[in-house]
Amino acid sequence: MKLNTVLLVSLPLFILASCGKSEKTDNAQIEADISPISAKVNSYVAKVLVADNQAVKEGDTLLLLDDAAYKIAVLQAEVALEQANQAVELAKSNKQVVGSTVEGATANSKAVANNLAAAQAGVAAAKVKLTIAAKNYTRFENLLAEKSVTQQQFDFAKAEKDGAEQGVQIAEAQLASLQQQIEASKAQVNTSKASVTPTVNGIALAAIGVRQAENALAAARLQLSYCVVTAPSDGVVSKKTVQKGQSVAIGQPLLAVTNNTKMWVVANYKETQIANIKEGADAIIQVDAFGSEEFKGKVSSFAQATGAKFSLLPPDNATGNFVKVTQRIPVKIEFAQPIPSQFPLRAGMSVSVKIINP
């Protein structure tokens, strides 16, 4: 009977102990986004507009770099763009001139070709006239031998025949000249048409030059914009190492902006504790700076690797003597409620975390 009573009492206590089990660690700290501000151009610091620990908003100007050289670069790029645009206009103008030349050469070729039929008809008419004149000459020559016509009549027939021969020669010469003109006009048309393609290509090349000049101007303006250094997010100025008049180089750290509106906790739990922690589990957070004050949180996610794997020299168990060490897994815990203003949290603060299993 006593044994049964002990079992009945022990069973609920075991269930309560199991359900109320929690995982604790004091290997935890506050984390926040820290945005490093580096120089993007080589220059000198003209003005520093913020101080250490000053609160800033996204887009606020932090410091100004000397921009004289970059303004000149922008002006030069603008001039180059204007020259490129003028080159395009000139190429288009040349195309119009070439087009007019082609039209003129084509019209001239057609006009010359239209005269060809008339010239050919003139040659045929001259040959007919020569044939008639030649027959008359032969007939008068026979009649003169028979004393049937006078010498004057024979001389007139001979003159007509000679004139007809010259007429044929002149008509044929005109036809030949006209044919040469036709060939020349065709050659001119072909030459004019051949010059169209280079002109079109010249326009395309000039357009490419415009795009190149536009890109160069955009790059120059971008470089100029880097002379105004602004805050990438809301936060507090931290780790300011820049002073007025200082020479800075590309990539040189100037200061940092630590986000003061969004914070979370990273708790480094032992790998033997991870199996008892689930995403979404409730957490109780105690910040060392605020004593026993408790903040509510929830497990957000787990790191994919142990903390040792992210160290500068991660351990390699395949070399040397193997010593088994319990590893720790970073667990991200987000605050479940807004943090009261009387408890200003800062990145890096030490905390203790207790995760309550559901």
pLDDT in tens, 317-344: 776 677 788 899 999 999 999 988 899 9
Residue 195 lies in a domain: yes
Residue 329 DSSP SS3: strand
Tell me if 108 sits within 8 A of 146, measured CB to CB: no
The mean pLDDT of 71-83, rounded to a whole number, is: 93
Residue 252 lies in a domain: yes
Are 123 and 166 found together in one domain?
yes
Q: Cβ–Cβ contacts within 10 Å for residue 223, how many? A: 19
Q: Report how far residue 260's alpha carbon sits from residue 236's, in angstroms, rounded to the nearest whole number.
A: 7
Q: Percent of the chain, pLDDT > 70? A: 75
Q: Which of 260 and 123 is assigned the larger pLDDT?
A: 260
Residue 8 lies in a domain: no
- Of 186, 217, 248, which residue is a domain's last? 217
Cross-strand partners of 228: 64
Range of the domain at 269: 22-66+232-356
Residue 236 lies in a domain: yes
Residue 86 is predicted with a pLDDT of 85
User: Per residue in 177-226, pLDDT tens?
Assistant: 766 766 666 666 556 555 555 565 666 777 888 888 899 999 999 999 99
- Of 173, 194, 217, which residue is a domain's last? 217
Query: Has residue 153 got a pLDDT over 50?
Result: yes
- Of 172, 193, 217, which residue is a domain's last? 217
Query: Could you tell me the CA-to-CA distances from 103 to 97, 98, 109, 110, 114 in Å, in that order?
Result: 10, 9, 10, 11, 17
Residue 24 DSSP SS3: strand
Are 53 and 77 found together in one domain?
no
Query: Has residue 78 got a pLDDT over 60?
Result: yes
Q: What CATH number is attached to the domain comprising 337?
A: 2.40.50.100
Residue 267 is predicted with a pLDDT of 95
* Least confident range of 65-69, 98-102, 333-337: 98-102
Share the mean pLDDT of the chain: 81
Query: Has residue 145 got a pLDDT over 90?
Result: no
Are 88 and 199 found together in one domain?
yes
